[in-house]
Amino acid sequence: MDFVLSGVAACGACLFTNPLEVVKTRMQLQGELKSRGTYQVYYRNVFHAFYTIGKVDGLAGLQKGLVPGLFYQFFMNGVRLGSYAVIESSGYIHTNGRVSAAKTTLAGAVAGVVGAVMGSPVYLVKTHLQSQATSTIAVGHQHKHQGMIHALRAIHRQHGILGLWRGSSAAVPRVSVGSAAQLSTFSSSKELVIDLQGQLYKGFSDCFSKTLKKEGLTGLYKGLGASYFRLGPHTILSLFFWEELRKFYKTFR
């Protein structure tokens, strides 16, 4: 059940962050292998890209690749977070009852590798579909896929079964590093919050004021880099949905 809940949580986050993936893909493909100043700039920045895609392709254009995106999140994060949950519940990430930074980092990395390999084919399809646009704002190669199933068949027909895992060699190290940073930070932060409840602070306001007074403004931002090592919005939504779904399941099972 941990795998299912993890996948559903990630899908919930994907509904909100998929437009960012569309924009990111278009901006990465713009001017591919061309010298600066030698190509048409359709997307000047993130905000201009949102406006341009919405204006030309409509609001639906900002959700291109959503179906494979949901499948990717369900399989990749279902396996990744589900595997980590199993490792966590088995007690592996703890040493003498405390969260071990080394063990959580290793567990997060391993879970990320497995998830990345599992989700690689649909991630490839998602990228193909997100790059497709009206000719007036199209960037990169246009694959002309009619949907996820059509894309999977076309890739398999052209490149064979291994062709579905093209690009996985780049995705595995990216996801493993991000997963290690994300999940180790998550476990350590959760343990810290549990430790501090009822001991140092009387509530949120008390915690905020004491931290600001003792540690200064920078104290409120400790761990920011690690927490947002990957996509901030997706990380927050995924883990929030994951934790809440697990609580809900445990309450009613």
pLDDT in tens, 154-186: 999 999 999 999 888 888 888 899 899 889 988
d(CA 81, CA 245): 13
**Average pLDDT score over residue span 64-79:** 91
CATH number of 2-183+232-252: 1.50.40.10
201 - beta bridge partners? 197
Average pLDDT, the chain: 85
CA angle (197 as vertex; 191, 202 as ends), nearest 5: 150
d(CA 250, CA 142): 46
Q: Per-residue pLDDT for 78 more than 90? A: no
Q: Where are the domains of the chain?
A: 2-183+232-252
- Identify the top-confidence range among 97-101, 146-150, 178-182, 238-242: 146-150
**Average pLDDT score over residue span 19-48:** 88
